[in-house]
Amino acid sequence: MEEGMSGFYIKAAGVRGNHGGGNGGGGGTKCGRWNPTAEQVKVLTDLFRSGLRTPSTDQIQKISTQLSFYGKIESKNVFYWFQNHKARERQKRRKVSVDDQTKEAIRSEEKISSAKHFIPHHVVESERVMETLQLFPLKSFDELAEPEKLRLHATECRDFAHGFGVTMDHPTLDLRLSFL
């Protein structure tokens, strides 16, 4: 895929009650969130239609600058717009593809054949990790990078961590870094 640097920033205001942003060229919309004008949406849509899907930081800046003429806008708005637009288009499309797959999947076991790769460095998440890894000594556990050690795909939803009656006194939120 094209290399597109993106990134967003979030600039917390901290305090609200700050409005007055002129969305839409002088409106009085609240500053809670960006409210694109018709013109802005048109340009963005046009760009999207032209094939732009993941604008680089540089492009985002330019677009933002241009669109700022029509009203208040920030880089992150452009970034988010493309992210959402792309994601939602795909999302919609995905819903559609479920039609014939559903019928098929439910009745047959085909669903399980989702080409599950038997990755060597499977890794688990904590205690029993060692055991598994020892069977695949590609590297010693200590040498693996975090992601490799910790990566785990299908996480099971067991509430195992704290369900066993540990009579420990509640941390009282006071432990903090004491355990490090």
Partner DNA sequence: CCCATATGAATGAAAG
Partner DNA sequence: CTTTCATTCATATGGG
Across the chain, which distance is largest between two alpha carbons, in Å? 66
CB 94 within 8 A of CB 57: no
Q: What does 115 bind: its own copies, DNA, none (CB cut-off 5 to 8 Å by kind)?
A: none
Tokens of residue 5, six digits = 């640097």
Q: What does 64 bind: its own copies, DNA, none (CB cut-off 5 to 8 Å by kind)?
A: its own copies
CB 71 within 8 A of CB 23: yes
Binding of DNA at residue 119 (CB under 7 A)? no
d(CA 33, CA 46): 22
Binding of its own copies at residue 115 (CB under 8 A)? no
Binding of DNA at residue 86 (CB under 7 A)? yes
CB of 165 to DNA, least distance (A): 26
Please, how many CA atoms are within 13 Å of residue 57, restricted to the half-sphere of its CB? 5
Toward its own copies, which CB reaches closer, 90 or 120?
A: 90
Among 61, 108, 132, 134, binds its own copies (CB under 8 A): 61
